[in-house]
Amino acid sequence: MNDRVKLVLASGSPRRLALLNQAGIEPDVLMPAEIDETPERGELPRKLALRLAQQKGELVALRAREAGMNAIVVSADTVVAVGRRVLPKPDVQDEAEHCLRLLSGRAHRVFTGLCVVSARGRARTRLVETRLRFRRLSGEDITAYLASGEWRGKAGGYAIQGLAGSFVVKLTGSYTSVVGLPLAETVALLQGEGFPVRTGWSERAA
In a structure prediction context, what are the per-residue pLDDT tens digits for the chain, which is 206 residues long? 446 789 999 999 999 999 999 999 999 999 999 899 999 999 999 999 999 999 999 999 999 999 999 999 999 999 999 999 999 999 999 999 999 999 999 999 999 999 999 999 999 999 999 999 999 999 999 999 999 999 999 999 999 999 999 999 999 999 999 999 999 999 999 999 999 888 878 766 55
User: Is 127 within the bounds of a domain?
Assistant: yes
Listing DSSP states for 4-34 in one string gives: SPEEEES---HHHHHHHHHTT---SEE----
Which residues does the annotation mark as catalytic?
77
pLDDT score recorded for residue 1: 41
User: Is 152 within the bounds of a domain?
Assistant: yes
pLDDT score recorded for residue 131: 98
User: Is 129 within the bounds of a domain?
Assistant: yes
CB 112 within 8 A of CB 49: yes
User: Is 1 within the bounds of a domain?
Assistant: no
Query: Total structural domains in the chain?
Result: 1
User: Cβ neighbours of residue 8 under 8 Å, at least 6 residues apart?
Assistant: 27, 28, 29, 30, 31, 60, 61, 64, 69, 71, 72, 73, 74
Residue range of the domain that includes 36: 6-204
User: Is 113 within the bounds of a domain?
Assistant: yes
Which CATH number belongs to the domain containing residue 36 in this structure?
3.90.950.10
User: Is 100 within the bounds of a domain?
Assistant: yes
